[in-house]
Amino acid sequence: MAQATAIPMADEASRHDTDDSPPQTLFWTRRASLTARILAVNIVALVLLAGSLFYLDTYRKQLLAERFKLARSEAQITAEALVLAKAEREPALLTQLGKEQSLRLRLYDTKGKLEIDTFKLADPTFSFIDPEQEPWYQDAARMLDRGMEWLVGAPQIPPYRETDSEEGDAWPEVRRAREEVRSQIVLRHAPDRTPVITAAAPVGTEGAVLLTTRNSTDITQKVRDARQTLAIVVLIALVVSIQLSLFLARTIVQPLRTLVRAAVRVRLGRDREVEVPRLPERRDEIGMLARAISDMTAALRHRIDAVERFAADVAHEIKNPLASLRSALESLEKVKDPDLQRQLTAIAVHDVRRIDRLVTEIAEASRIDAELSRTTFEPVDLEDLAANTIASREGPERPGNSARIMLLRQGFGRATVLGAPLRLERVIENLLDNAISFSPPDGAIALIVTTGDGRVTLEVRDEGPGIPADQRENVFERFHSVRPEDESFGNHSGLGLAIARTIAEAHDGSLIARDRLDGKRGASLVLDLPRAPQS
């Protein structure tokens, strides 16, 4: 398969949680946009805060309860004062109290007839407001009052209606106070929906009753002021929250949409040079995602390019032996000379073997990545593996191999790495095959295993012509065809070193070519792998 190339990934992406399970989403959020979700989460809290407006009804009830107590106390105290006062002092006493307490006081005699009315004795201490004469915003305030009362389920309060009758029975609280001989409190609404509190208290034991009336406009104003203050706070908080939510949504949604558009263009393949933004200025999860997608896209493009080049190289490499095979077979029918027929047959057989070798190597190269991605690595002693590989070449089944192979050891500790034994053995085989191909007859090949600094290296040295500095990367390309002059053409596919490097990089290692460090003539191929943790 294509030679793997290490592409630097974002550091942040390598530190993320490795849990691959899909995140669970609530059913009601699956169709909502991210902006809508952010707004909803922030507004819900403010809606709950706005719900405290309803609790102002409790505040209103507390104020009314206090005024009920005050009205009862005023009525009872005034009634007791009337019992002790002389008859001629009663009008002046009630007038003075009404003026000081902003009350309307009416005294009904034992027969229920109106005897004293402070509003008739002196100027009224309060007057009801005509809603028709007030500005529009007061109408809006009253509508809001009615709406809040309806929402909290407040009981209906009857309107206050003044009567011209001088009979005490015209007021239910006066009638009950006479019958039950105890104080009575009644709440009514003035025309402008302010509370009117009337209190009836018996005067003495003969049936006289005192009726006090107070228009508590301050209660309505206090509740409205509290409601208005809270509404303003909620409104300001709502505006600020919406702005902050939109800002947060923009910082999250806009880059995500940019990434989505770039990903779609990459998927459609309409713009080969499309750049996925990396957002280097962002150090948050969005930046990590952008850099991860950018790196993934670069790796995907590299792999696609490698696959395309690999396909082209395969077609080119197979085309040559196929052309030679076709030419030999076509000529074989026309040639009558037996010697020439044997030569053409030998060429055809050689080309068939060459095609078979190519197909085998190509199949091997194409499945290396897939196999290694599924392989569980195990501890492998690289020195033992190299020794076994060398031993397998010393038998009679490997004729023509006159090179002397030596295994040398440097460093301390076991040369243990984590990997796939068969694949690492294939790397050593390919390196030895390459060294043997370029070694002179009876030349020496050294395998040097070195441990140290958390790494294990396997160096393969030969005594061949060496590799020029400008060709040291080219030898790892697929189908590299520079071979020794005395080697028969087509005996190697040119995939050996490419496969070896692919396996090395799949083990988080590397494979490079360099000069021999001892200064002697020849090439040096070095396999470098991370050392396994020592128990």
Tokens 């290692």 sit on residue: 509
In the listed set 348, 374, 400, which residue is the last one of a domain according to the structure?
374
pLDDT given at position 326: 82
463 & 522 share domain: yes
393 & 529 share domain: yes
Provide the angle, in degrees to the nearest 10, between the axes of the packed helices 136-151 and 56-84.
100
Structurally, the chain folds into a number of domains equal to 3
Distance CA 335, CA 325 (A): 15
222, amino acid identity: K
CATH code (residue 481): 3.30.565.10
Tokens 């105890």 sit on residue: 182
322 & 404 share domain: no
In a domain, residue 508? The reply is yes
pLDDT given at position 11: 44
pLDDT given at position 271: 57
Distance CA 358, CA 320 (A): 11
Provide the residue-wise pLDDT of the chain in tens; the chain has 535 residues. Answer: 333 333 343 444 444 444 444 445 444 445 566 677 777 777 776 676 666 666 677 888 889 999 999 999 999 999 999 988 888 899 999 999 999 999 999 999 999 999 999 999 999 999 999 988 888 888 888 888 888 778 777 888 999 999 888 999 999 999 999 999 999 999 999 999 999 999 999 998 888 999 999 999 999 888 888 878 877 887 888 888 888 778 877 777 788 888 888 888 777 765 566 777 878 887 777 788 888 888 888 877 777 777 777 677 667 667 777 887 888 888 877 887 888 888 888 888 877 887 777 777 777 666 676 677 778 889 999 999 999 988 887 754 444 456 788 999 988 888 999 998 988 998 998 899 888 888 888 888 999 999 988 899 999 998 888 888 888 888 887 766 555 554 444 455 567 788 888 888 888 899 999 888 888 888 899 999 999 887 6
Residue length of the chain: 535
In a domain, residue 299? The reply is yes
Tokens 């009753």 sit on residue: 209
In a domain, residue 20? The reply is no
CATH code (residue 321): 1.10.287.130
365 & 380 share domain: no
- Domain containing 122 equals 51-227
410 & 361 share domain: no
In the listed set 323, 346, 374, which residue is the last one of a domain according to the structure?
374
498, amino acid identity: A
CATH code (residue 159): 3.30.450.20
| 8 Å CB contact between 526 and 512 | yes
In a domain, residue 315? The reply is yes
In a domain, residue 22? The reply is no
Tokens 């989403």 sit on residue: 25
In the listed set 374, 400, 433, which residue is the last one of a domain according to the structure?
374
Beta strands 208-215 and 404-410: pairing type? unpaired
pLDDT given at position 258: 83
pLDDT given at position 174: 94
Instruction: Give, in degrees to the nearest 5, the angle at Cα 125 between 165 and 114.
Output: 25
Distance CA 356, CA 184 (A): 115
- The stretches of 1-132 forming alpha helices (DSSP H) are 34-50, 56-84, 90-101, 118-121
Q: Using DSSP, state whether 245 is helix, strand or coil.
A: helix
What are the structure tokens assigned to 485, written together? 């002059």
In a domain, residue 243? The reply is no
In a domain, residue 89? The reply is yes
Sign for the CA dihedral angle at 356, 357, 360, 366 comes to: negative
- DSSP letter at 469? G
- DSSP letter at 535? -
Distance CA 345, CA 202 (A): 139
| 8 Å CB contact between 369 and 522 | no
Cβ within 8 Å of residue 148, ≥6 positions away: 53, 54, 56, 57, 227
pLDDT given at position 510: 92
Distance CA 53, CA 251 (A): 33
SS (H, E, C) 162-228: CCCCCEHHHCHHHHHHHHHCCCEEEEEECCCCCEEEEEEEEECCCCEEEEEEEECHHHHHHHHHHHH
Query: CB count, 10 Å around CB of 9?
Result: 15
Cβ within 8 Å of residue 531, ≥6 positions away: 415, 416, 417, 451, 454, 455, 456
What are the structure tokens assigned to 95, written together? 């007038």
425 & 471 share domain: yes
- Beta bridge partners of residue 449, listed in sequence order: 409, 458
In a domain, residue 320? The reply is yes
365 & 401 share domain: no
327 & 427 share domain: no
Q: Single out the residue of 185, 207, 199 nearest to residue 108, CA to CA.
A: 207
382 & 503 share domain: yes
| 8 Å CB contact between 438 and 476 | no
Tokens 């790397």 sit on residue: 427
| 8 Å CB contact between 13 and 292 | yes
Distance CA 18, CA 15 (A): 8
382 & 320 share domain: no
Buried b (16+ CB within 10 A) or exposed e, 215-245: bbbebbeebbeebeebeeebeeebeebeeeb
408 & 481 share domain: yes
56 & 203 share domain: yes
